Amino acid sequence: MTVQFDRITLIGIGLIGSSLAHDIKRLGLAKEVIVATRSAETLKRAEELKLGDHYTTSSAEAVKDADLVIVSVPVGASESVAKEIAGTLKSGAIVTDVGSTKASVIAQMQPHMPSHVHFIAGHPIAGTEKSGPDAGFPGLFQGRWCILTPLEGTDPTALKTLRSFWEALGSRVDEMDAQHHDKVLAIVSHLPHLIAYNIVGTADDLETVTESEVIKYSASGFRDFTRLAASDPTMWRDVCLHNRDAILEMLARFSEDLAYLQRAIRWGEGDKIFELFTRTRAIRRSIVQAGQDVDAPDFGRPHPLEKK
């Protein structure tokens, strides 16, 4: 099914909002794109980059007559956006989001949504450590998964339309309930970021190793962590606070497993260490085999970190 909307409104025009803007224009998915964001400075930059057709700092104004509204703000701002747009949404409009956590976003937005709109939360599993309107680029969502979290009673036609939108961007779409989404993402995305923030913080705190040595001798493994640890502080603070339970559960499991490894190292239990490392190597090989290794040169799309 090919989709074209008369009017798409993008609320929030950072990495994700601006990447959507590039692709909507490139692929002709809307006759008109309205860009709304809170800060006048960001809005001015979006206009300079020609990311839309109309620009406003009023989300309430921006959603008037929109068929599709995509909210791309830090998850902690979801409720204030929902309250702001509730009164001006057009009948039959689809309202969605891209937030990294889902149960909290649904809890913040759903109660404010009028019954004449279709609210379906979503999450593209695609991004980089960059933020702001200059960070976006066309093709970010190509070949990546997008998870939609329909609720009981979600209109199947609206769901199909939203699915077609993401498919038009080149994404593969899965449906999942919000609680399960939050558990899965806690381990595959939120924990890795926390580990990265923590290890880079630990290296920075060391008394016996200087900062210049950390920079000078950083091996590629450490450098990979510094990339994640450079991710937007507001966005990731909000993820931590809004997926609290799942993150705490995964952190507890992680700490137990780390203690096991620590003990094996202390007692010289090479077989235990070897068994774990063999098991984890197999996971990496399955990712590569499944074509999910986005760093591979043959992944077949612009590299997510292409825009330096």
Ligand X SMILES: O=C(O)C(=O)Cc1ccc(O)cc1
The contact set with ligand NAI (CB under 6 A) reads 11-17, 37-39, 42, 59, 72-75, 77, 80-81, 98-100, 124, 127-128, 131-132, 232, 235, 239
Provide the minimum distance between the beta carbon of 69 and ligand X in the complex, in angstroms, as a whole number: 20
Residue with smaller CB distance to ligand NAI, 75 or 246? 75
CA distance 290 to 275: 23
189 binding partner (options ligand NAI, ligand X, none; Cβ < 5 to 8 Å by kind): ligand X
Residue from 189, 203, 243, 247 that binds ligand X (CB under 6 A)? 189
Residue from 150, 147, 54, 138 nearest 94 by CA:
150
Residue with smaller CB distance to ligand NAI, 12 or 203? 12
Q: Which residues contact 4 (CB under 8 A, 6 or more apart)?
A: 28, 29, 30, 31
Residue with smaller CB distance to ligand NAI, 59 or 171? 59
Question: Rule CB under 6 A: which of 79-118 touch ligand X?
Answer: 100
98 binding partner (options ligand NAI, ligand X, none; Cβ < 5 to 8 Å by kind): ligand NAI
Residue with smaller CB distance to ligand NAI, 17 or 203? 17
Contact code string over 113-132 relative to ligand X, x by CB under 6 A: ------------xxxxx---
CA dihedral of residues 63, 65, 66, 69 (deg, nearest 10): 30
Contact code string over 240-279 relative to ligand X, x by CB under 6 A: ----------------------------------------
Residue with smaller CB distance to ligand X, 113 or 184? 184
Give the total residue count for the chain. 308
| Cβ atoms 123, 185 nearer than 8 A | yes
Q: Given its phi and psi angles, is residue 293 left (phi above 0), alpha (psi -120 to 50 degrees) or beta?
A: beta
Q: Tokens 């825009």 appear where? A: 307
How many of the chain's residues bind ligand X (CB under 6 A)? 8
| End-to-end Cα separation, the chain, in angstroms | 35
Provide the minimum distance between the beta carbon of 49 and ligand X in the complex, in angstroms, as a whole number: 21
CA distance 198 to 229: 8
Residue with smaller CB distance to ligand X, 89 or 125? 125
138 binding partner (options ligand NAI, ligand X, none; Cβ < 5 to 8 Å by kind): none
Provide the minimum distance between the beta carbon of 100 and ligand X in the complex, in angstroms, as a whole number: 3
Residue with smaller CB distance to ligand X, 184 or 273? 184
| Cβ atoms 3, 165 nearer than 8 A | yes
Alpha helices in the chain (DSSP H): 15-27, 40-48, 59-62, 78-85, 103-109, 156-168, 178-185, 191-205, 211-217, 220-229, 233-242, 244-266, 270-289
**What does the DSSP assignment read for 69-113?**
EEE-S-GGGHHHHHHHHGGGPPTT-EEEE--S-SHHHHHHHGGGS
Question: Rule CB under 6 A: which of 209-228 touch ligand X?
Answer: 228
42 binding partner (options ligand NAI, ligand X, none; Cβ < 5 to 8 Å by kind): ligand NAI
Please report, as ranges, the residues that interact with ligand X according to CB under 6 A: 100, 125-129, 189, 228
